[in-house]
Structure 1
Amino acid sequence: MKFKYVNLNKEEKVIDLPVTEEDFNETKCFVEGSELIDMDYDWLIWDLRDYFVEKMVLDPFKEEINSFCKRIQLADFDYEKNAGPEDLKVVQMYYHVYIWDQIFIACEPEGSFHKESLVEDRLELDLDLELKELEHLLLQLLDVLEVDYSEFKEEEDISTNELGIDTLVENLLRECWRKTKEETNSKIVGTLFEATGLGSTGDLDTDEIIGDSEELIVEFFKKRNIRA
């Protein structure tokens, strides 16, 4: 359904909600007059919040991430004296979300696979997050649903509370990696993981879970006939 709201610049906007008008009105009848702080996280507003994080906050970075992935796949690193692009077979990409202000993404040769140092420095990308517009929209949605969020807002941030942004970021990185791979036809493959150790190391190309040990990573790529 279409939802009309006013953005931070006081302009009238229309945005698509991934829900039918019938389901939206049914939800409204069920929750109107309720307090947000008493609700669990398995209802419409949180599904919409996650959807808007993806569409409003993360998707605008696609062009930058595509360019970043293309640099990696074209082996655009500064190499050590005895190394070159032809030596690079497997890379590791990792990211970290800094308190909802920034996403840091980096990439370098996969350390478990490439024992010798190939590059002088990793490639890095910093993305600044902006969540004010998202929260502004969510509050208007809650007003239409006639849900009282005053007490919740004193204790929690509606735009980030219980938000599983790591999954959304990883989905975006994989999407951009595969898109640019179709353009570059690169033979370079990659691993992906969250920099502080949350979750497991996965394959950028196939989404398979590899595991975190050096032996598992080396063995995984050997099965794909990629050897150091």
Structure 2
Amino acid sequence: MKIETKIDEAFKNTFLLPREKTVTQFLIDVLSSKYKFREDDKKIEVISLYYYASSPLSFLFALPNYEYYSPDKTIQMAELHLKEHSFEDYSSTDVQELCKKVLNENNIDYSAYLDEDNQLDYAHYWENQFGLESDFLMNCWRNAKEQTQSKMIGFLESSDGAGGVFDMDNGFDFPFDVDMDEYLRSHGFVIEKEA
């Protein structure tokens, strides 16, 4: 087994799997309308799930997708702060320590990747963290949809807008050069935009 795969497994087991039930339950609550996004009864068919850019699994929030729904009519944002569920945020230092542990367990010399402060720069051999986190969020979304039988469409975005947009139902990047309405129509969804 490649060392990268071993780090992936350790990362999933240490940071992702313990959070799975809590994140999935939050998404079930979003999909089953526990949160009242608006005062009127307009059905929300497209939602945006945002993760906090600098720490994707510390804070998540969901809103009606503003391509389709007027931001002025939103009265509530669905929020999940994982600290409120007894999960400490994990930092790059925590991830670095996890990498060192896996490297040590596999007798791999990583001295070449230490900087002058003895900090490990794991970008040289492991860059899967964001991919694992976004896959995890999309998997929780799919599980929540399965449990609720919701037809809601979801897009995953970073809070700073820099991470791109993911189609959570199909698991791939939303193309930057395509209009969202055009994209959804091409997948057989016709959703009326709010004027």
Flag the 1:161–1:125 CA change in 2: closer, same or farther, 3 A: farther
Instruction: Say which one has the larger Rg.
Output: 1
Cα separation, 2, equivalents of 1:123 and 1:160: 37
TM-score (norm 2): 0.75
User: Does the 8 A contact of 2:67 with 2:180 survive in 1?
Assistant: yes
Q: What is the CA–CA distance in structure 1 between the aligned matches of 2:63 and 2:128, rounded to whole Å?
A: 26
Alpha-carbon distance in structure 1 between the residues aligned to 2:104 and 2:7: 15
**Unmatched 5+ stretches in structure 2:** 83-87
Corresponding residue number in structure 1 for 2:5: 47
Rounded to whole Å, the distance in 2 between the matches of 1:160 and 1:108 is 36
Task: Give the aligned length.
Answer: 182
**Aligned mate of 1:175, from 134, 139, 151:** 139
- Residue 189 of structure 2: aligned partner: 224
Which whole-Å deviations, capped at 9, do the CAs of 1:72-116 have from their partners, x for residues lacking one?
1112223443x12x521111011124368x632111000011135
Partner SS for 2:171: coil
2:45 is the alignment partner of 1:89: yes
> What's the CA shift for 1:61?
0.4
Report the AA paired with residue 179 of structure 2.
Answer: L
Instruction: Give the share of equivalent positions with the same residue, in percent.
Output: 20
Alignment counterpart, residue 81 of structure 2, candidates 101, 118, 126: 126
Aligned residue for 1:98, secondary structure, equals coil
Q: Which amino acid aligns with 1:78?
A: K
Question: Which of 133, 143, 147 does residue 108 from structure 2 map onto?
Answer: 147
In structure 1, the residue matched to 2:25 is 67
Per mean C-alpha deviation after superposition, the further-off stretch among 134-143 and 122-131 is 134-143
For the residue of structure 2 that corresponds to 1:87, the secondary structure is: coil
The C-alpha deviation readout for 1:8-58, integer Å capped at 9, x for no partner, is: xxxxxxxxxxx3xxxxxxxxxxxxxxxxxxxxxxxx333321221122211
Unaligned runs of 5+ in 1: 1-18, 20-43
Paired residue type of 1:165: Q
Quickly say closer, same or farther: Cα 1:67–1:155, change in 2 above 3 A: same
| Contact 1:80–1:117 (CA under 8 A) maintained in structure 2 | no
Q: Which has the higher strand share?
A: 1
In 2: Cα distance, 1:184 partner to 1:113 partner: 22
Query: Match of 1:75, SS?
Result: coil
Question: Relative CO higher for 1 or 2, CA cutoff 8 Å, sep ≥ 6?
Answer: 2
Distance 2:150 2:108 in 1: 51
Match in the other structure for 1:112: 67
